[in-house]
Every structure is written in structure tokens, then in C-alpha cells.
């Protein structure tokens, strides 16, 4: 049965859903509030069942070919010397650096390019209002136009405005006491192919990661309770980071200078999206809008492609949308619950506030990355989750 379906959000989850639903014969429209496709973004990885989805889409090798080329992870001191290191060729399978390391924008672009010939795209627009009468959904867009759809898929981000229209007050976020800023800076000759991660006092961290575009992806992190910083204007956020990292050491000055001129600054206070349900009538959530696990979970992209694949599969298996959405929730819930099980103490342990704490962290990491135990460390960083059987949707 062909349906007219609107998907809001042209990132990893939305583009995967668009491809899978269009392949199944549905009339799909993809709406994205950004005026153009958003390239760029930071390093993400796709593991296990997520790679299986990409394989079934015929995109696994293309994603590997567009990888960042990251060769491992090094935790460093203020002099830039590695105190612990684990390389991809030191362990079997995926460790902190997975085999499929790719930029968010590169993966989203790969998925979008695969779907775009079968999908109607509306960039520079967004959903302003929805009315679900049980037989369809009337959607009014910010541009002033209105359309009617059989179903609406919300594949927006952690702060999804459409989710709040449909599920007002139902998101009970779990704040992870971690503030992060991501952006791209110019590459320098001493930037290697490792993810270099530096920790200093007051819960601060700086990391630099390679990409395949001749630039470097920077991250600034602060372990602290939330104070609404995610809602500040960008200039205030940048000034705050200047104040907090002025005396951080290592390459803080270079990173702050690069931040001032970057074209892709992203700032957020990490929180998980906790929803008791992911659908209401003919509207369904997927990706971060449904279950954001934050970068601390290390599995966001895998969940995004898996959830979108399962959603499309259940719509193919069930004539009634409500039955399809319920089956989708049943299939994905256990995997999501496990992925969101990161202890709140983890950011504090990994981001010490004192010099003694940083010294102890370095000692633990040095021990964990020694040859006799680093394979175990790699396995611990690559958690096995209760993934759904995606083969049933072939």
C-alpha cells in the first residue's frame, strides 16, 4: 500500500527513512529547515547492526571509502606527549576508533544522494503546525503552504520543535552534566591521524580528530551541571569558552582562535531524550528526536540508521499505521534503553577536576592500553546491544 509520507529532518535518520520508504513505493517528501544540505559535522561511527543496514542499502563500501582515516586514539599530556594510546591495528574489531569512522555530514550526504532521486525535497522550510484527524495529517509549513499526508515522520534533533508540538511536555530529558562544542579548524603539520584527547583541571578537555578534507575537527568539553548555556546566542557561547579555556594549556589557544573563524560551530549541553512513546496517531518519532543518547553513548548513528530501517520495514509489514508504529517501538525499545544506560558518573570520571584526578586518569588509561589488556579495553568500548532482527524486513 503506497502512502504519502512527510519526513522532517535531512540528517542520518531522516535520509535513511526517506531511502527505505521510497524504495518501498511510498510518495515521500523530505523537509529540512536549513536552506541547503548541511555538510560538515564531527566524527561519528557506525557499528554492528548499523553497518548491516548500510550493507543492505548497498552503501557500506562507499561509507568506508569516505572514512576519516583515523588510525586510533591517544590520550596526551600538556606537552602533547601520549600517556596512553590504542591503534585500530592493535585490536580485533572496533575499539574507541571504529573501522567505519566518518563525518556526520559525509554519511548524511551519502544517504541523501542515494534517496534524492525518489524523494521530493523542501529545503529552507519547516513544519509550523499539524492536525491529525485520524485518517491523515494536515501540515502547515512556515513558508505558508499547506499539504495533507497519510503519515509524518519526525527525524529532527535533540531539541525537536515538532516533537514538542505533538508530544507537549512528554520529553523528560536526562541531563548528562557535560557541555560540548564542536567545530572545524585549519590543519597544521603536527596533526596526525590519531584522535588526540587532552584533559586538564576543572573538568575540561580538548580533542583534535583527523578528517579526509584537509582540516581538523576540534572539540571542547566541560564536565559541569547544565545552566541553560544551550540557549545562549552563539557569540555568548564562544565568549564563555574563551573564558573557560584561556589557561587550559596544550593547543587551547590555537583551538580558540580557530573557533572564532569557523563556519560550523555547534554547541550543546548534553541530555538524553527520554520518551515513554514514540508515536501519536499518524505521527512517529525516530533518531535523536525519539531517543538521543548523546555522544557519550557512542552509538547514535547506528541507532539512527537501524531505527529508520525498522520503521520502514514495519510500515511494509502492517497495513495499519498504529500497528506498524507499535511494532517499531517494540523492536527498538530494548536497544535504545541499553544505549541510554551510560552512568551519569561516567563523564565525571573521564573528566577530572583536579591535577591529581587527571594524573590518576592517565595512569588508568596507560594500564588499560597496554598490550595484555587493550583487547579487553577495546571490547568494553564496543558494547554489544540487543539489536532487532533487521533481516525480517528484507
User: 86 and 377 in contact (C-beta within 8 Å)?
Assistant: yes
Q: What is the number of residues in the chain?
A: 394
Residues 6+ apart with CB under 8 A from 346: 296
Displacement of CA 274 from its chain's centroid (Å): 16
> What is the predicted pLDDT for the residue at 92?
64
Percentage of residues of the chain with pLDDT beyond 90: 86
In this predicted structure, the answer to whether residue 94 has a pLDDT above a threshold of 70 is no
Please name which of 246, 283, 273 lies closest in space to residue 336, comparing C-alpha atoms: 273
| Residue 369: pLDDT band with limits 50, 70, 90 | confident
Q: Where are the alpha helices (DSSP H) in 188-299?
A: 234-245, 252-261, 288-291
pLDDT digits (tens, 9 = 90+) for 11-44: 999 999 999 999 999 999 999 999 998 887 889 9
User: 309 and 393 in contact (C-beta within 8 Å)?
Assistant: yes
Nearest-Å Rg of the Cα atoms of the chain is 21
> What is the predicted pLDDT for the residue at 394?
84
Task: Provide, for the chain, the percentages of residues in helix, strand and coil under a 3-state DSSP scheme, each rounded to the nearest 5.
Answer: 40, 25, 35
> What is the predicted pLDDT for the residue at 384?
65
| Residue 49: pLDDT band with limits 50, 70, 90 | very high
pLDDT digits (tens, 9 = 90+) for 200-242: 999 999 999 999 999 999 999 999 999 999 999 999 999 999 9
Mean pLDDT of the residues in the chain: 93
pLDDT digits (tens, 9 = 90+) for 103-147: 999 999 999 999 999 999 999 999 999 999 999 999 999 999 999
User: 255 and 191 in contact (C-beta within 8 Å)?
Assistant: no
Please name which of 332, 347, 348, 341 lies closest in space to residue 383, comparing C-alpha atoms: 341
Ranges of each domain in the chain: 4-47+62-67+105-172+272-342
CATH 3.40.50.300 fits 4-47+62-67+105-172+272-342, yes or no: no
Amino acid at each position: 500500500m503506497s502512502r504519502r509520507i512527510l519526513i522532517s529532518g535531512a540528517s542520518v535518520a531522516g535520509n535513511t527513512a526517506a531511502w527505505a520508504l521510497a524504495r518501498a513505493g511510498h510518495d515521500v517528501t523530505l523537509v529540512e529547515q536549513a536552506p541547503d544540505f548541511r555538510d560538515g559535522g564531527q566524527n561519528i561511527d557506525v557499528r554492528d547492526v548499523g553497518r548491516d543496514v548500510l550493507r543492505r542499502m548497498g552503501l557500506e563500501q562507499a561509507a568506508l571509502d569516505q572514512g576519516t582515516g583515523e588510525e586510533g586514539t591517544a590520550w596526551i599530556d600538556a606537552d602533547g606527549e601520549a600517556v596512553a594510546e590504542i591503534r585500530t591495528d592493535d585490536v580485533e574489531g572496533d575499539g574507541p576508533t571504529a573501522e567505519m569512522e566518518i563525518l556526520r555530514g559525509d554519511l548524511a550526504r551519502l544517504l541523501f544522494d542515494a534517496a534524492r532521486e525518489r524523494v521530493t525535497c523542501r529545503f529552507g522550510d519547516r513544519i509550523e503546525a499539524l492536525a491529525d484527524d485520524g485518517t491523515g495529517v494536515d501540515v502547515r509549513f512556515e513558508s505558508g503552504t499547506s499539504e495533507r499526508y497519510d503519515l509524518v515522520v519526525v527525524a529532527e534533533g535533540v531539541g525537536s520543535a515538532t516533537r514538542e508540538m505533538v508530544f507537549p511536555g512528554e520529553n523528560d530529558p536526562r541531563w548528562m552534566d557535560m557541555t560540548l562544542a564542536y567545530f572545524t579548524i585549519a590543519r597544521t603539520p603536527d596533526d596526525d591521524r590519531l584522535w588526540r584527547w587532552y584533559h586538564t583541571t576543572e573538568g575540561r578537555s580538548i580533542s583534535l580528530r583527523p578528517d579526509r578534507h584537509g582540516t581538523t575537527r576540534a572539540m571542547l568539553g566541560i564536565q559541569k551541571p547544565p545552566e541553560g548555556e544551550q540557549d545562549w546566542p552563539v557569540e555568548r557561547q564562544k565568549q564563555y569558552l574563551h573564558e573557560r579555556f584561556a589557561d587550559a594549556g596544550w593547543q587551547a589557544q590555537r583551538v580558540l582562535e580557530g573557533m572564532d573563524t569557523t563556519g560550523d560551530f555547534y554547541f550543546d549541553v548534553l541530555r538524553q531524550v527520554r520518551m515513554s512513546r514514540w508515536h501519536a496517531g499518524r505521527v512517529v518519532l525516530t533518531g535523536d528526536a525519539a531517543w538521543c543518547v548523546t555522544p557519550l553513548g557512542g552509538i547514535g548513528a547506528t541507532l539512527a540508521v537501524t531505527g529508520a530501517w525498522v520503521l520502514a520495514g514495519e510500515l511494509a509489514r502492517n497495513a495499519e499505521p498504529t500497528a506498524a508504529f507499535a511494532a517499531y517501538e517494540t523492536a527498538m525499545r530494548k536497544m535504545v534503553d541499553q544505549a541510554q544506560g551510560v552512568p551519569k558518573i561516567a563523564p565525571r570520571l573521564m573528566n577530572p577536576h583536579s591535577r591529581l584526578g587527571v594524573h590518576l586518569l592517565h595512569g588508568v588509561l596507560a594500564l588499560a592500553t597496554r598490550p595484555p589488556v587493550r583487547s579487553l579495553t577495546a571490547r568494553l568500548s564496543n558494547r554489544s546491544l540487543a539489536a532487532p532482527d533487521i533481516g525480517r524486513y528484507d
